[in-house]
Structure 1
Amino acid sequence: MELDKDSLQFIFGSTIRALHKATALAFENGGLELSPEQFHLLKIISSKEDSIQTELAEILQLDKSGIMRHIDQMEAKGFVQRINDANDRRKKYIVLTELGSSKLDECKAILDKMSDSILKGISDAELLIFKQVLSKLKENAER
């Protein structure tokens, strides 16, 4: 079977892999100890007051064990910590530490520079249309 390099699925898949690889490399070259997935996890944790593992898994569409691995790694580095719920000992909140907040800021600065590079030659109007089309594709796929 011949590979259809013009198919939407191939273009999306290869683009996502290229962006993921570029992000991981930019983080590594910037001296950060985070994967792109961990960056997204930190971003979500920083935006929510009460983050629990189950909610994080749902938001990122990962299984609970995958989220737990990321949280364990980030906790070992001091980027997040687990806080026990006062009423339910089984429930633990994941909160961003000061170091985690600092790492998040560093990631954002690296991604801002990277955005300038990857969006080169793309107008604001084209980017807006692209985002609208992606939203429609996602909406249709979830039906």
Structure 2
Amino acid sequence: MNKQELPLGMVVGRMMHEMFRVLKKRTGEIAETKLTIEQFGLLYAINMKNEDVIQQDMANIMGKDKSAIYRVIDSLEEKELVRRVVDKNDRRKNFLMVTKKGEAVIEQYLEIEYKLIKELKEGLCKSDIDTFYSVVNHIRNKAEKL
């Protein structure tokens, strides 16, 4: 079986694994606050929402169960990157807010990621990159409909 016969999910998975390995190494060398990819993903997702973010919403967005998300939120709160604010109208709801420190960490991580992506795209022409994005978007859109 040659590489083009490997299942697409395996090829993409290997690519993501290698990218995350390098990203983890580089953020570990530079960033003052160490985060797992999952912690950064959640912190970034909270920051990207333009409206109030509820813990349950994050569980749905991240495709994880509530208890797993709560553990990640707890760790982000311990690092002072997010804070929970209890809803005045419904004490069962906790809104999530990214702190100033959290915003600074996001900026630091994104800078490292952008440099890595630029480095990984070296040697590829614009049409190759456009084709890559087109194929990835096509597959994602088809998968979302299944």
Q: Same fold (TM over 0.5)?
A: yes
Superposition pairs for residues 39-118 of structure 1, below 5 Å? 39-48=40-49, 49-118=51-120
Percent of aligned positions that are identical: 30
CA contact (8 A) 1:27 1:35 kept: no
Query: How far does residue 10 in structure 1 lie from its aligned partner after superposition?
Result: 2.2
- Superposed CA RMSD: 1.6
Partners of 2:2 and 2:69 in 1: how far apart?
34
Structure 1 residue ranges, 4+ long, deviating more than 6 angstroms after superposition = none
Determine if the alignment matches structure 1 residue 25 to structure 2 residue 25: yes
Unaligned runs of 5+ in 1: none
Report how far residue 19 of structure 1 moved.
Answer: 1.3
Give the drift of 1:85.
0.3
Cα deviation for residue 111 of structure 1 reads 1.0
Q: How does 1:119-138 map to 2 (within 5 A)?
A: 119-138=121-140
The answer to which of 65-74 and 83-92 deviates more is 65-74
Deviates more, 1:31-40 or 1:50-59: 31-40
* Unaligned segments of structure 2, at least 5 residues: none
Letter in 2 for 1:55: D
For normalisation by structure 2, the TM-score amounts to 0.87
Q: Greater shift after overlay, 66-75 or 117-126? A: 117-126
- 1:66-99 Cα deviation digits (max 9, x unpaired): 2111111010010000000010000001100111
Assess, with a 3 A threshold, how the Cα gap between structure 1 residues 15 and 86 changes in structure 2: closer, same or farther. Answer: same
Which residue identity is paired with 2:93?
K
Q: Take 2:37 and 2:13, find their aligned partners in 1: how far apart are those partners?
A: 16
Equivalent-residue separation in structure 2 for 1:67 and 1:123 (angstroms)? 39
